[in-house]
Amino acid sequence: MATSASSKLSKAVKQQYMDLPQGDQVQAMYIWIDGTGEGLRCKTRTLDSEPKTIEDLPEWNFDGSSTYQSEGSNSDMYLIPQAMFRDPFRKDPNKLVLCEVLKYNHKPAETNLRQMCKKIMDMVLNQHPWFGMEQEYTLLGTDGHPFGWPSNGFPGPQGPYYCGVGADKAYGRDVVEAHYKACLYAGVKICGTNAEVMPAQWEFQIGPCEGIEMGDHLWIARFLLHRVCEDFGIVASFDPKPIPGNWNGAGCHTNFSTKEMREDGGLKCIEESIERLAKRHQYHIRAYDPKGGLDNARRLTGHHETSNINEFSAGVANRGASIRIPRSVGQEMKGYFEDRRPSANCDPYAVTEALVRTCLLNEEGEEPVKYK
């Protein structure tokens, strides 16, 4: 099993230094999405006192030419703090700071999808849109081989691994447990976790979150997963189809509701939203992975609990549909629906924005409406 050299350094020696007092000063780790729209970057600065609100955090900058975000001749990019969390690695009073990225002219960078998402969410505040996202991922060695798989072959076929228990069924649970606690400490709204259908594949769920909070909390949860895996010397992949063939892919099923859907008789509102989604399938497919649908084409085949990427479908308790209405929602005539199309490497800002545009702002057509 290939693990990183860094993970073999003595953690006991490191802990001697981590236990040293730091006075009133605070380490703030600024985190941002790079030019790939998938990768995360971070760097740390010292603050003279513990920040209590976002307004207490200074703006910062970085070299965008080294993160696929600018040219070397004009490379300064700005980091604008947007959400603050407790740091589970350095512990209190140190902070994690999620930032938006602005270009030299103070316009959003190409992969800064948060700013537009926030604008759209602010338009529907009175409808209280709630989201819950189910983030699937695969644990890999540093050589790209799935964690725990035989070096020259494959494990037994799928069947015993989903929510499995035992050394021959659950691969890498230490990472999952460490990540869960890190999220709880940080203040991330993690609500559950489970082993998935393919061995070395896992899932955690974030939510319910209202509006822009969904994207903020999922991105920080992803950062924490990468950071925990770094300590263990392995890699977390959000590739939607990491292993070709008869193995499940990885998605990011998105559960969505509004105040009206959650109240008595809300099923009617849910069905109206699904009708609107049916007329805008290709727009959503383009928004649901960072490559405009190309990544999802490997996953949404109509097999392995997925729908076909070219067809829209909906059904009660149907895991082979684009949209699933949970059986309990059908019985209670209120609640939420699940969009099963987003890929594991989707940008949650893009996914939640698309749902609000189509379901709540009643947009139609293949392009998003431009609002003043």
Q: Count Cβ atoms within 10 A of the Cβ of residue 48 and give its class: 0-12 exposed, 13-18 middle, 19 or more buried.
A: exposed
In three-state secondary structure terms, 61 is: strand
Using CA atoms, how far apart are residues 298 and 305, in angstroms rounded to an integer? Answer: 13
Each domain of the chain, given as residue ranges in start order, spans 7-109, 121-361
pLDDT tens figures, 85-94: 999 999 999 9
> Residue 23 — left, alpha, or beta (φ > 0 → left; ψ -120 to 50 → alpha)?
left
Q: What's the one-letter identity of residue 221?
A: A
Span 127-154, pLDDT tens digits: 999 999 999 999 999 999 999 999 988 9
Query: Mean pLDDT of all residues in the chain?
Result: 96
Closest CA to 27 of 86, 103, 107, 112: 86
The full DSSP string for 110-142 is TT--HHHHHHHHHHTGGG--EEEEEEEEEEE-T
What average pLDDT score do residues 255-273 get?
97
Q: Which two tokens stand for residue 194?
A: 């489970």
By C-alpha distance, which of 96, 102, 74 is closest to 217? Answer: 96
User: Are the CB atoms for 103 and 126 separated by under 8 Å?
Assistant: no
Percent of the chain with pLDDT over 90: 96
User: Could you tell me the fold of the domain covering 7-109?
Assistant: Ubiquitin-like (UB roll) (3.10.20)
CA distance 78 to 205: 31
Q: Provide the pLDDT for residue 73.
A: 77
Q: In what order do the strands lie in the sheet with 95-102?
A: 40-47, 26-33, 95-102, 76-86, 60-63
DSSP tag of 59: P
Nearest alpha carbon to residue 304 among 246, 239, 244 = 246
pLDDT exceeds 80 at position 248: yes
pLDDT(67) > 80: yes
pLDDT band of residue 58 (cuts 50, 70, 90) is very high
Burial state string for 163-190 with b = 16 or more CB within 10 A and e = fewer than 16: ebeeeebbbbeebbebbbebbebbebbb
Whole-number Å distance between alpha carbons of 131 and 124: 14
Fold of the domain built from segment(s) 121-361: Creatine Kinase; Chain A, domain 2 (3.30.590)
Residue 90: which of 146, 140, 22 has the closest Cα?
22
Report how far residue 19's alpha carbon sits from residue 121's, in angstroms, rounded to the nearest whole number.
42
Query: What is the pLDDT at residue 108?
Result: 96
Amino acid occupying residue 22? Q
Q: What is the pLDDT of residue 147?
A: 97
Cα–Cα distance, 89 to 96 (Å, whole number):
10
DSSP string, 206-257: EEEEETTHHHHHHHHHHHHHHHHHHHHT-EEE--SSSS-SSS---BEEEEEE
In angstroms, the first-to-last Cα distance of the chain is: 54
Mean pLDDT for the stretch of residues 110-118:
98
Element (H, E) at 148: none
Q: Is the pLDDT of residue 75 over 90?
A: no
Element (H, E) at 165: none
Alpha-carbon distance of 69 to 163, in angstroms, equals 40
Confidence (pLDDT) at 116:
98
pLDDT score recorded for residue 320: 87
| Contact between residue 306 and residue 330 where contact means Cβ atoms under 8 Å apart | no
| Cα–Cα distance measured from residue 212 to residue 338, given in angstroms and rounded to the nearest whole number | 18
Question: What's the pLDDT score for residue 91?
Answer: 98
Question: How many other C-beta atoms lie within 10 A of the C-beta of residue 365?
Answer: 9
At 328 the pLDDT is 95
Query: How much is the average pLDDT of 348-360?
Result: 98
Q: How confident is the model at residue 72 (pLDDT cuts 50, 70, 90)?
A: confident
173-184 pLDDT, tens digit each: 999 999 999 999
Output the pLDDT for position 231: 97
Per-residue DSSP letter, 7: G
